[in-house]
Amino acid sequence: MITTNVWSVEQLPDEKLGPELAAAAAQLRDGGLIAFPTETVYGLGADARSSSAVGRIFSAKGRPSDNPLIVHIANRQQLDELVLPYPQLASALMDSFWPGPLTIVLPARPDVLSPLVTAGLASVGIRIPDHRAALTLLELAGCPVAAPSANRSGRPSPTLARHVLEDLDGRIDGLVDDGATGVGLESTVVELVGEQMIRILRPGGITLEALRIAAPYATIDSASLEEPESAPRSPGMKYTHYAPQGELILVQGAPDAVTAYIHRQVERAASSGETTGVLAFEERLQGYKADRVLSLGSEAELATAAHRLYAALRAFDEGGVQRIWSESSGEQGIGAALMNRLAKAAGNRVVRV
């Protein structure tokens, strides 16, 4: 067991972050594993140039070795040492969305990053997070930091420091606690095909609509969101992720039909002695009688649902819920990422009524 140091910085002003996080940055440089908050979820960071450090990420998380990692940097000046020349379209996306929840897959410069980061691919996903503690830590560390979500592989991603400790306490060297994350879902991952095509590999905090505004001349392809048969080009593409311990089923259809179906299933499971849960929007929340009914917020504010999702899935685990049904949302804006995560959390168990 490793002693996990915790640096609590939520109450600190920005100017005091540097002195407080110097020790965490030093541990990163020395091969340590440090969990830290971003604007999306908490990440588990290691020096992306060190195979021994990056290997500890896979061990701590129980993560498949063919699943590539996203590299986080503090500024664009670090890019040249990590990647080969890239299209102007990539620069336009950086201008619009960095710092922020957009990961861009770029051609990796040979022999710089650990091959464990790229999972044997010739490319690497890179982003600059829009979070004060993350940026301070990255600047102090002075190295590119590989950082998947700071949870055991397959579990709901952490949006609070306590979620990290639930999964990884004793497996990592340190944790920076700066309170709840903002977006609540991981970054959007895109790759460039030629000079004028953007392919979305994973929906996330930057929406399809926002990409179209930022790059109106580009073709945007979201067809690649299907599960790949070969090695994934991005995190979140191949394996079941974000899953609660109980069985989750995602229900799609007209609202009245969805409500009626979930009600019947809850009654049937309860009669068999199973503990039941429902994840629903505020508009229909009072209609459910499960053991644990949790709100995603209003259907009109899907950003709230995105922010609440992972904490809700973990809350079902805390309550020992065995069977869970979730309502669905539209797929406009952040709804595309929300539905992507729900489907993966359900292991693609989707019922249409």
Q: How many helices (H) and strands (E) does the chain have?
A: 10, 16
**pTM of the model as a whole:** 0.93
Mean pLDDT of 200-205: 95
pLDDT at 1 over 90: no
Q: How many CA atoms lie within 13 A of 84 on its CB side?
A: 7
Query: Tokens at residue 167, please?
Result: 């999964």
Average pLDDT, the chain: 94
Asked whether 112 and 60 are in contact (CB, 8 A), the reply is no
User: Is the model more confident about 228 or about 274?
Assistant: 274
Instruction: Give residue-wise pLDDT tens across range 246-256.
Output: 999 999 999 99
pLDDT at position 65, please?
Answer: 81
Q: What pLDDT is attached to residue 224?
A: 54
Q: What average pLDDT score do residues 167-194 get? A: 96
Tokens of 152: 């055991």
Residue 117 pLDDT level (bands cut at 50, 70, 90) = very high
At residue 225, the pLDDT reads 52
Token duo for residue 42: 């908490």
Q: Is the pLDDT of residue 18 over 60?
A: yes
pLDDT of residue 67: 86
Residue 240 has pLDDT above 90, yes or no: no
Measured in degrees and rounded to the nearest 5, phi and psi for residue 39 equal -75, -10
The pLDDT value recorded for residue 111 is 95
Q: What percent of the chain has pLDDT over 90?
A: 90
Residue 235, pLDDT > 70, answer no
Are 278 and 266 spatial neighbours (Cβ–Cβ below 8 Å)?
Answer: yes
Confidence (pLDDT) at 242: 84
Q: Given this model, what pLDDT does residue 308 score?
A: 97
> Does residue 229 surpass a pLDDT of 80?
no
Q: What's the confidence (pLDDT) of residue 222?
A: 78
pLDDT confidence bin for 299, thresholds 50/70/90: very high
Q: Cβ distance 118 to 108 under 8 Å?
A: yes
**pLDDT of 54-88, one tens digit each?**
999 999 999 888 889 999 999 999 999 999 999 99
Angle of CA points 191, 153, 317, to nearest 5°: 125
Average pLDDT over residues 119-128: 96
Is 21 within 8 Å of 176 (Cβ atoms)? Answer: yes
Banded pLDDT at 234 (limits 50, 70, 90): low
Q: Which two tokens mark 233?
A: 């080009």
Tokens of residue 137, six digits: 């830590």
Would strands 247-252 and 276-280 be described as parallel, antiparallel, or unpaired?
Answer: unpaired
- Confidence check: pLDDT of 123 > 90: yes
pLDDT tens readout for residues 126-170: 999 999 999 999 999 999 999 999 999 989 999 999 999 999 999
CB atoms within 10 A of CB 298: 12
126: enclosing H helix or E strand: strand 123-127
pLDDT of residue 237: 54
Angle at which helix 302-318 crosses helix 161-168, to 10 degrees, equals 40
Longest dimension (CA), the chain: 62
As given in the structure block, the two tokens for residue 224 are 């690649």
